[in-house]
Every structure is written in C-alpha cells, then in structure tokens.
Amino acid sequence: MTGSDRDTRADAAEAHSGGHGESTKAILAAFIANIGIAATKFVGFLITGSSSLLAEAIHSVADSSNQGLLFLGGKRAEKPATDLHPFGFGRSRYFWSFVVAIVLFSLGGLFALYEGWHKITHPEEISSPIVAFVILGLAIGFEGFALRTAMRHARPHRGGRSWLRYIRSSRSPELPVLLVEDSAALAGLVFALLGVTLSVISGEPIFDGIGTLAIGALLVSVGVFLAIEMQSLLLGEAATDEHQGRIRAAFAASPEIDRLVSLMTQHLSPDDLLVAAKVVFASGLSASDAGEVINACEARIRDAVPIATRIYIEPAAGSDAAATPGSAAPEPEGPHPVN
C-alpha cells in the first residue's frame, strides 16, 4: 500500500468516527496518569524544594484540567441542535481544545517562567536530591504510558503521515492535543532532570531555576502552537482532499447534471460536514425532475462521505454558470493555516 493510500484510508477512518471513541479512551488514560503524576511531583517539591518539580507539578495540574476540558467539549458537542444553534454544538470540541491551549500557556507556561526567574534570583539548595530523581523517574514512566496510549489510539487515523503532519492536518482535535501535551510533558521532565542533576553535581542551585525557565519556555511555545492549530479548526476547515474528490465524483456520476459550478465544504465538527454546491442541470429538465436529481445526488454523496450530514444543492444562475471559481480541483491539503 502506498503512503497516499494509507493517508486516504486514515482520513476516511478519522472522518467516519471523528476519532471520538478513541479520543475518549486516550483522554481518560491521560487524566488518570496526570493525577498520579501531579500528586507525586507535589510531594517531591515539598520534600526537596526543587522549583523544577514545582513547575512540573503545576504543568501536570494544567494537563489534568485540560483533559477535563476535552471531555467537556466532547459531551457538549453531543447536545441536540436548537433554534438558536441550528447546526448543533459540534464546534464545542474545537472551542474547548482552544481553551486547553490557553490554559497550557497561562497556568503552565507563565507560572513556570515566573518560578524559574524567582529561583535564579533567589537560589535555594535542593534537599534530598535522591527523592527528586526517584520522583522524576516515576513521572517519566507515567508520562511515557500516557504518550504511548495516545499514540496507539491515534495510529489508525495517522496512516502514512508523519506525526507532525497528522497533528497539523487532522480535523479531530482531541488526539493531536493529547499527543502534543504528552510530548511536551516528557520534554519538560527531561529539562527538570537536567536542572536537578546539574544543580547536584555543581552545587549551584541556579541550574534548577534554568531548568524551570526551559520548562516555561517550552509550555508557552506549545500553547501558542496549539492555539494556532485550534483557531483554524474553530473558524471552520474544508473537507479533506479525499472527501472533496469523492463529492465531485458523486456529482460527475449524475448524467442529469451538466456541470458542477462551485463546491464549498466546511467541518462543523470532525464528524459533521457541511456541503454546498451550485450545478448546471441538463437542458429541458423540469423543476420536479430537478428535485429528484438533487435527492439522488445527495444520497450518492452521503454514501461516498457518510459525515456529509448537511447538503445544499442549488441550480446556478446564468452569471454563475459562466464562471466556475469552485469547480477546479482543490489545492493539496496542508497544515492548518496561520491567519
């Protein structure tokens, strides 16, 4: 199977489920791991006084809160549509993932930067460094478990894409957020371990503060990265290239449609796709026949792309039929753009 084939099947699998069932399991595993990690780090900080451990403890609290927010987003997305929100609440998954980025930036990153600066300007020796090493080792084991769990659940949706490309092009927010969070957590623990180790070897507690600053810089960077990615999803992204191709093929399979004039798609949620199209019907087609053609075409689109839950097809006016801005093939799919 080629890389393109794997990408296509992965896109289809992800879009079919939105990755939501897998996401829920990964969120639960990450939440349990982070609760244990946070408690362990706080105990370590109280014993050793290490600012790196305190920064990592706050980071784990932020991560635990974030998993709660992701779960909340998934639950709110299941609410039925209302008169005020006729397209439902699917974008709640994108909104709360965006809030996760803000929490990681503020609660995790800014606190660690402050704590690192404080430790550098007011250095204090680390007491019981052995305890710090043991706790950091346990935390690395917990985080490794959480990251491995997230990777296992994400792998069927990734296909042949690199991990970075999967994170930046996925229409489902939860698993990419967990992958980025858990990777940052492991990197932060490495910074903490280096800071504590250098402080113990050199006898200079300033290295503990430098490690804490590195953790803060990492979390701020990750928070900004996730905010940019989630902003693109929150604003509404088009269907994947594969799905747009299937939708166009469904129109091409309708002999009563002469031409597809324009096609616009937008994800209202990972598993809820809006499709709007203008078409030129064959000459001589009556209004009632046109209605039947539209119904048949909608059925073909839903067979090809099951997440296409809202489809709007209308005949093109004369001026619209002359220009075909939306009939060209879509540009190759890439990362979420920065606006």
Asked if residue 8 and residue 127 are part of one domain, the reply reads yes
Phi, psi of 29 (to 5 degrees): -65, -40
303 inside domain:
yes
Residue 33 one-letter amino acid: A
335 inside domain:
no
Residues 161-185 have pLDDT tens digits of: 899 999 988 888 988 999 998 899 8
Asked if residue 178 and residue 100 are part of one domain, the reply reads yes
327 inside domain:
no
Taking each helix axis as running N to C, give the angle between helix 174-202 and helix 20-48, from 0 to 180 degrees, rounded to the nearest 10: 20
Asked if residue 265 and residue 155 are part of one domain, the reply reads no
107 inside domain:
yes
Q: How many helices (H) and strands (E) does the chain have?
A: 12, 3
143, 156 contact by CB (below 8 A): no
Domain boundary among 235, 268, 288: 235
CATH number of the domain within which 217 lies: 1.20.1510.10
Please give the Cα distance from 184 to 221 (Å, whole number): 10
Domain boundary among 217, 235, 253: 235
Tally of domains in the chain: 2
334 inside domain:
no
Asked if residue 130 and residue 51 are part of one domain, the reply reads yes
Q: Residue 267 pairs with which residues in a beta bridge?
A: 273
Phi, psi of 267 (to 5 degrees): -80, 115
Asked if residue 272 and residue 130 are part of one domain, the reply reads no
331 inside domain:
no
Q: Give the per-residue pLDDT at 307.
A: 94
In the chain, which residues have pLDDT < 70? 1-22, 318-339
337 inside domain:
no
Q: Give the per-residue pLDDT at 329.
A: 46
Burial of 224 (0-12, 13-18, 19+ CB in 10 A): middle
339 inside domain:
no
Phi, psi of 33 (to 5 degrees): -65, -45
Residues 45-97 have pLDDT tens digits of: 999 888 888 888 888 888 888 888 888 888 999 999 999 999 999 999 999 99
Asked if residue 214 and residue 113 are part of one domain, the reply reads yes
CATH number of the domain within which 282 lies: 3.30.70.1350
Strand order in the sheet with 308-315: 257-269, 272-281, 308-315
Asked if residue 56 and residue 150 are part of one domain, the reply reads yes
Report which of 212, 227, 219, 188 is spatially closest to residue 104, judged by C-alpha positions. 219
- Quickly tell me which residue has 């451990």 as its tokens: 53
Tokens of 2: 């080629």
Tokens of 170: 């996925």
DSSP string, 44-112: HHHHH--HHHHHHHHHHHHHHHHHHHHHHHHHHHTSPP-SSSTT-STTHHHHHHHHHHHHIIIIIIIHH
Cβ neighbors of 115 (< 8 A, separation 6 or more) are 51, 54, 55, 58, 212, 216
Asked if residue 260 and residue 309 are part of one domain, the reply reads yes
Asked if residue 168 and residue 40 are part of one domain, the reply reads yes
The single-letter DSSP state of residue 325 is T
Q: Give the per-residue pLDDT at 7.
A: 46
Please give the Cα distance from 216 to 219 (Å, whole number): 5
Asked if residue 245 and residue 222 are part of one domain, the reply reads no
Residue 150 one-letter amino acid: A
Tokens of 29: 């595993």
Q: Residue 101 pairs with which residues in a beta bridge?
A: none
Asked if residue 247 and residue 220 are part of one domain, the reply reads no
DSSP string, 249-305: HHHHT-TTEEEEEEEEEEEEETTEEEEEEEEEEPTT--HHHHHHHHHHHHHHHHHH-
Mean pLDDT for the chain overall: 85
Q: Give the per-residue pLDDT at 323.
A: 53
Asked if residue 248 and residue 169 are part of one domain, the reply reads no
Domain boundary among 192, 211, 235: 235
* Domain residue limits at 92: 3-235
Q: Give the per-residue pLDDT at 21.
A: 58
